[in-house]
């Protein structure tokens, strides 16, 4: 069965700072570049096309933040293999031989678009697989990759929440500079997703927007991206758990066609560090309900 055993990299990496400066975790779930050999053999498209689904270099842009006192999480397997920003069992029955478990969500909008937990297509709509997959293969990926990642992320969030009385998860993504639809205008530099005000305190969303605008970026909220499963699942501001999604327009830091970093790459990393500092400066009491931190 396909899994991540035998690969040289761990499925995901969590880097905790030596000293936490603030209850902030930066997460990059879609920048993985380690493609299992069996996956490539089963794909009908080439590597360059598969890689269009990656949030290219997003993990590198936030990597240094652990040295500044913040938690950093990165996923090493590609989202086209397993997408951790989905429910655990958003599965398209047309992709598999055999019967899916009764608890599988087969009717979500994401499944309909081919972008379930085991994606059917890459970002531009091309089918990934030449043949159907076995149900056992899909469930193995979920058990060996998806679930361990979420268990580890949950533990990290719980630890931060216990230590500080609150926690902020900043879910970091990137987007193509233009959409598939021709009539769609060029996208802004940054899209903030807070599930329309439900996944985090308004204070956090305001600070993110104001900081990125002060750095010279155009910013929009919740359109075209309001936040995915991670933002929705881990954001519970009434309990002191704040999750916000940030989508960076790839054109601001890379050449999308050549898939290369541009001269602005380092400046974008500096600006994300400024964002981390601005979020760290938010008085914890301003974030709303929180529990007294453990002694």
pLDDT single digits (tens) 40-58: 999 999 999 999 999 999 9
Give the Cα separation of 1 and 3 in Å (integer): 6
pLDDT, averaged across the chain? 93
Q: What pLDDT does residue 167 have? A: 97
Provide the pLDDT confidence category of residue 295 given band limits of 50, 70 and 90: very low
**In this structure, how many other beta carbons lie within 10 angstroms of the beta carbon of residue 92?**
24
Q: What pLDDT does residue 289 have? A: 77
pTM, to two decimals: 0.94
The count of structural domains within the chain is 1
Contact of 57 with 265, CB cutoff 8 Å: yes
CATH number of residue 246's parent domain:
3.40.630.40
Nearest by Cα to 75 from 121, 46, 39, 32: 32
Q: What pLDDT does residue 123 have? A: 79
DSSP character at residue 90: B
pLDDT single digits (tens) 191-210: 999 999 999 999 999 999 99
Tell me if 90 is assigned to some domain.
no
Tell me if 258 is assigned to some domain.
yes
Helix 202-214 × helix 265-280 angle, to 10°: 140
Tell me if 210 is assigned to some domain.
yes
Domain that holds residue 55: 12-79+136-287
Q: Is 98 exposed, middle or buried (0-12, 13-18, 19+ CB in 10 A)?
A: exposed
Q: Is 32 exposed, middle or buried (0-12, 13-18, 19+ CB in 10 A)?
A: buried
pLDDT single digits (tens) 224-247: 999 999 999 999 999 999 999 999
Q: What pLDDT does residue 133 have? A: 97
Tell me if 129 is assigned to some domain.
no
């Amino acid at each position: 069965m396909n899994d991540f055993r035998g690969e040289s990299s761990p499925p995901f990496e969590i880097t905790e700072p030596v000293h936490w400066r603030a209850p902030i975790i930066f997460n990059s779930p879609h920048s993985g570049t380690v493609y299992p050999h069996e996956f490539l053999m089963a794909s009908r498209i080439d590597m360059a096309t598969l890689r269009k689904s990656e949030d290219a270099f997003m993990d590198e842009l936030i990597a240094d933040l652990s040295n500044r006192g913040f938690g950093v999480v990165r996923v090493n397997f590609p989202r086209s293999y397993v997408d951790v920003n989905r429910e655990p069992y958003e599965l398209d029955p047309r992709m598999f031989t055999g019967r899916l478990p009764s608890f599988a969500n087969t009717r979500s909008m994401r499944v309909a678009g081919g972008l379930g937990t085991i994606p059917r297509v890459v970002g531009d709509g091309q089918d990934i697989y030449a043949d159907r997959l076995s149900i056992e293969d899909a469930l193995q990926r979920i058990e060996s990759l998806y679930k361990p990642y979420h268990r580890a992320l949950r533990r990290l969030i719980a630890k931060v929440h216990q230590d500080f009385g609150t926690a902020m998860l900043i879910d970091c993504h990137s987007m193509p500079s233009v959409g598939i639809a021709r009539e769609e205008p060029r996208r802004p530099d940054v899209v903030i997703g807070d599930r329309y005000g439900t996944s985090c305190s308004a204070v956090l969303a305001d600070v993110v927007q104001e900081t990125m605008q002060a750095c010279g970026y155009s910013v929009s909220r919740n359109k075209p991206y309001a936040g995915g499963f991670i933002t929705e699942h881990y954001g519970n501001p009434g309990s002191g758990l704040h999750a916000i999604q940030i989508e960076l327009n790839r054109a601001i830091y890379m050449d999308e066609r050549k898939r290369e970093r541009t001269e602005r790459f380092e400046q974008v990393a500096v600006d994300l560090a400024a964002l981390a500092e601005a979020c760290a400066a938010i008085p914890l009491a301003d974030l709303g309900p929180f529990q007294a931190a453990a002694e």
